[in-house]
Structure 1
Amino acid sequence: MTAELIVNNYPEDLLNAYQTAIAELRQLKNELRQTQQEYGELRTIIDRTNPVSMIDKHGTVLDANLPFIEMWGKSWEQVINHPHPLFDSPYYSPNFWEQLWSVVNQGKIWEGEIQQHIANGQHILLKTTIVPVEAPSGLSPSRYWVITNKDETRPQIEEQLLQLSWVATQTDNAVIICDCDGYIEWVNTGFVTITGYFFDEVRGRQSGSFLPGSDTNPDTVCEIAKALQQHQPYQGEILNYRRNGESYWLSISINPIFDKLGNLTKFIAVESDITERQKIASAWRESEARNRSLIEAIPDLIFRINSQGIILDYFPPKNCPNPGLPPHIVGQKIDAVFSQDLAEWTRHYLTQTLNTGQIQQGEYVLSVSGRYHHYEARYVPSGEDQVLAIVRDISDRKAMEVSLRLEQIQQRQKAIELAKTLQELKRTQAQLIQAEKMSGLGQMVAGVAHEINNPLAFIHGNLMHLETCIKDLIELVKLYHKNYPKPREEIIDFAKEVDLKFMLDDLPNALDSMKLGTTRIQDIVVSLRNFSRLDEATRKAVDLHEGIESTLLILQGRMKMHHGCEIKMIKDYGELPKLECYPSQLNQVFMNILANAIDALATQPDPRIITIKTTVEKAKSPDQLDSVVIKIADNGPGIPESIQRQIFNPFFTTKPVGQGTGLGLSISHQIVVENHGGKLQCNSQVGGGTEFVITLSIPEQQTPVTH
């Protein structure tokens, strides 16, 4: 926009105001340029002076000069908007910092020394001035200038001590630097950590005025004071108290520092917290006292030896103060105290205990005053190369053990005999029960057979006569019909009524059936008598096949389980001689084994098969006899091996309650093995059936019978 356009389009007063504003703007630009130049020169001057920074009321750095950055060894990014490093000093209590901020927040200048570590790790005292920036009236300052400067006025000895104090900051021990009179000039962070006191709280004080307490040994305090007065070093231990009132033990070393002319300048004290060590030592002393009291209370002989076999301690047994050993054995080797055998025996267990680190135990016998004593020795590890030996006289205990062992043997023998007697009693009881049952059964069978046999003989004898009469009558009717072919009407009607023709044809058949039935009854009676054989209480030569057949005849009804389901019986009889035996007993064996086979097949699917095989087994050596072998096998479910070991035990049964007594196979085993000197074996496999094998020796001069 040109001046002509401005003049033509705007009023004169507005134009004058515009020109005035332009002039003032130009003047402000010139002043700003001059101010920036002056600020740059001032910043250059500040950067060449001491470290200077500006912080807010929280201690956060807002600005800093180059010396500040170089002194703390940080970058601008690590300094600006971060806490001022000076206020992170660990040597001052919270109360110190509260007082400092209280001064500057009132708008006053704070001056003093603050110790801290700078970038190179050096421990220094910084002369510090904090100047509040003027705030509006009535308000607290919000920004502060912090000006720091190293103290370059200290003499060379103090600089050396400061270097030494830097080293002290690297240790956990407490380091204290005092002046010639014992007043604290400086402490490290180790002191703060151990005692709980900050540097500003102890500066200018003597440590003896606040660290000792009620349990501190006054003699130790006097010794330290005396050493300081005489400018002498001191080393010792003392009980002090922390700031919180807690006591602690420390090991203290105080050394005087002299200049080149020999004048005392400082005292340096180094203190180590040994509280835990003192607790361990105290506990060890208490434990040692308890152990010694315990050892003295043990009535046994106790001694401690090292790896070289040297006796270090010796406590004689309380009941025998002089157990045959020399009076002074401490410090001597076991070879000089014990016999050669006992010394070697002791050295062996000493070596075993040290090598394994475990308790070893042994026993030995020693003659003392003409009497043999039995000792038990226990060797317990005691440190790296020492062993504690505890020796006890167990002669009385051994005598009691022998007596008790003999008594146990006698009691065990009595128990075995009692168990055997009880077992025999059970077996005898079972035999008596079974014998009584069989006797009653035999008497009943014999009585029934006798009662049946008499009328049966009458019936069977009359059937022979009746057969002859019936034949004659039939022949007479035939002759009459032949000679009189046309009888009267009455006779014809009666013949039709009684069905004469059928009667003449069926009557012989009915007679034959009656004869067959009586014969069958006679066979059953004979089988019953053969099975019971009450008249044969002594051994007698019998045909075993007859006994088997009699048993099968009695069990025939049980083999027909239900309609269409019957057990198939396979007989494979060989040539057997008549065998001298107790027939009724063997029949009982056959009955028990066959009855068990039938029960085993009750739940089996078809086919259900029982096989009976008899053979003669030739002797394998001249001193043996030929044997009759009877094998009774079924194709049932088989018997588990665990049960096979028990099947011949009395009263053992796998059948439900009420269906078995557990005596059948037990009595069978006794009959075969004990009464006949034979063998009864069970061969079975689960799912493969069961086979019982009866082996009976054949006496000489037996004649075989063919079946």
Structure 2
Amino acid sequence: MKAMVAKKASCRVLDANQSEPVDIGNKRVYDRALAATSCGIVISDARCFDNPIIYCNPAFLKITGYSQEEVIGRNCRFLQGHDTDPIAVEQIRQSIRTGQEVRVVLKNYRKDGTLFWNDLTISPVRDSSGKVTHFIGVQTDITERKQAEETQQLMQFSIDRAADAVFYIRPDGTLFYVNETASKALKYSREELLRLSIQDIDPNFSLSVWQSHWQQVREGGSFSIETQHRAKDGQVFPVEVTFNYLRFNNQEYNCAFARDISEAYRQAQASKQAQKALQRSNALLKAQQESDPNGVLVTDETGATLSYNQRFCEMWQIPEGMRQLGEHKIIFNWLLPLIQEPQRVFSQMEYLEENPSLISREEIHLTNGRVFDCYSAPARSPEGESYGRIWSFQDITEQKQTETRLRQQAERERLVSGINQRIRQSLNLDEVLNTAVEEVRQFLACDRTLICRFNLDWSGTIVVESVGEEWTPASAINIQDTCFQESKAHLYQKGRIRAINDIYNTDLSPCHIQLLERFQVRANLVVPILQGDKLWGLLIAHQCSKTRDWQDSTIELLRQISVQLSVAIQQAALFKQLAEELAERKAAEAALRRSKQALKTQATELKKALNDLKQAQLQLIQTEKMSGLGQLVAGVAHEINNPVTFISGNITHAEMYAQDLLELVELYTENYPQPVPAIAKQIEVIDFDFLKKDFPKLLKSMEIGAYRIRQIVLSLKNFSRVDEAERKLVDIHEGIENTLLILQHRLKPEAGNIQLVKEYGNLPFVECYPGQLNQVFMNLLNNAIDALEKSVPVVTTEHHTTQATTPSQPKTKIIKISTEVADCSPSQTSNSDEIGTPQNVIIRIADNGSGIPKDVKKRIFDPFFTTKPVGEGTGLGLSISYQIIVEKHGGQLECLSVPGEGTEFIVQIPLAPSKIKTLQTTTLPSGEG
């Protein structure tokens, strides 16, 4: 028989979802697939006598306590005992006989004789002919659930039949639960009592006393008082009430045990009820611990463990065997090795033992990376005597990990911002590069960070390096990597970033691996440094001590820093060029040393050249943006203008053709006044008289629409001015209107309900750079709109003195644009060579926003100064506008502002008398402005 079983045990086994057998001899596949589940799984052979077990997974062995040699070849009946449910056993036999799936719950026994509840599912496996060949049994250990159900039923049974009245009271005094004894003692039904509060049954109730008792229960555990209860019939009797704190389903309750202490009851039941009350208190304390979502541990005054809940065991991963030894066996000696700093925690425990009245709260870091928030408070008797401590542990690992991620993100942003600031402030490229690689290495905690620059022959030189003390420096090594030139250079030139976690477990070529081995590299991260479309060099991070999984955040950080370094390199090249020019000028100065005036002129030119270079850098971003916008607008206007021209050009011919056809129809009508019935019917269907009147109107409306589109296209082209880089005579009002057209989306009611007021004067044509002037209008109007969107002013309307002030109403947001011609100031007239009195064209753009503080107003025209949040402003708009007006046009740009009332920008452009050409005041279409 044993030989037959052994033979069957090595035969093939059917998967429950297959009709063909699978070779059980390849046990590694099944072990890996089934070892991950906590359910016990066995496979028995239905073709052999007594259905012997031919396979079991590790979870089955763990649940039953048997070894694999003790299980294979036996029938599952060996797990049953004398008290196993016979009905469940019969259901299993019926399933085996009929080949039907069955699920039962029954008692089984482990090898050591301990009982466990088994939730068992038996499923048959059939071959291609439908014959049952195997049975698969899946068992789940539900012992804890069954014990909890039995404990809960026993607790409910005990409380309902307790001799004392039991009340579960909410913090507001209303009743949540009462037992049968309370119902009988107060002569209310249980439903009636649950509609009452403690105030209704206690004639001595005081809200302040109740709140004091509730706080005392929360802090000290339990205490007892003597008071009175009033029954439904009005009878008042003395009671002794013991209050206990209870937390259940995340709700707090005051659990009260009320004992009738009238003389007769006290003599008969005193001893018995005291013992039962103590048992109930312990049971409720245990229930409270088990319902608490945190891990709870209770110790006595010596530090010995009294009790703990299931969550505590799960958090600290206490083995099942340790839990079964009893709650008094778990001690801190088991917990301390799991903590990163056990000595510090042990010292804190000793300090709390010496000061039992203290409340403690601290974070405990475990060796496996988890973090617990530990809260410890003294446990007190009703008399205030400390008899131990309650420890509550909350798992805050995810919270701490989130805080760490946010902190790292902030540190990355500070690192990039610091490098960017240093690039702006320093003209020394070597200093910038050295500082960058050192800070990156420290931040990434890697072994080496370097920057490699390529020569014309694609050989590489390490220009800067930061390396740990235990690793060999790689500076000044000339790198000849022909593999890189042939296969990798063009990829990095296109912006490729390469992260290698392990150089020996990737697709690197042997020559590349040999190169990395020279630098002792095990993992590296390579980011290109580009100058336009050319590859200048590489920013590289090396991990030499071990492999490394480069995170996306780390890759993105190095990419951002490479962009900043690219700017620094470009800036250094510009300053190098400037330095060469300065050197040439200094050489010229040496030759002209005798001429003091020549030296002053040279110095002035050098200063101006430096200033021009800085100003060119400041205008770079804004100029590119406006150039792109102008090209986009001009292109869109051109594309729209072509079909609109086609439509408007054909509408005239359509009108002529329509008129000719209508005249022809009229001629037919005069000569054939009586049409045939079909024609008469069609005339009535199409309402020919209305069509004759409406069709010309329809064509006229189309002509007006096409004209309106052409006007809009013309405005867009005028605003872009991409073909007007020279000074010319233009209409200032036209430039303002074109700018407002571009900003129309920000002036609509849904965008902020901003009211636009125009007070245009009678201006002549002005000689200027129209595109740059439109840029100034765009900057000033954008700032005005931003100021109104971010301000929330309120005003009050006052009547005569006998009436009260009306409630505050939202202030209307207004932008006012006014133009005029005025005489120049004396300082300006002194610089004019024109005959007569020179004049200025003045444009005022004002808003009634929150205004600009005095300390901010002094700096608004400084480059890169902005009060907007990061990402919303560059601090270049007003600086560039000032340059356009003052330097390009010889005018003035002033700012007048009163905090709380608004801001006004005044643009003055000189108007030479010889260039004046009278222009009539612009008439706006109705509904605009």
TM tier, smaller? 0.3 to 0.5
> Structure 1 length normalisation: TM-score?
0.38
Larger radius of gyration: 1
> Structure 2 length normalisation: TM-score?
0.29
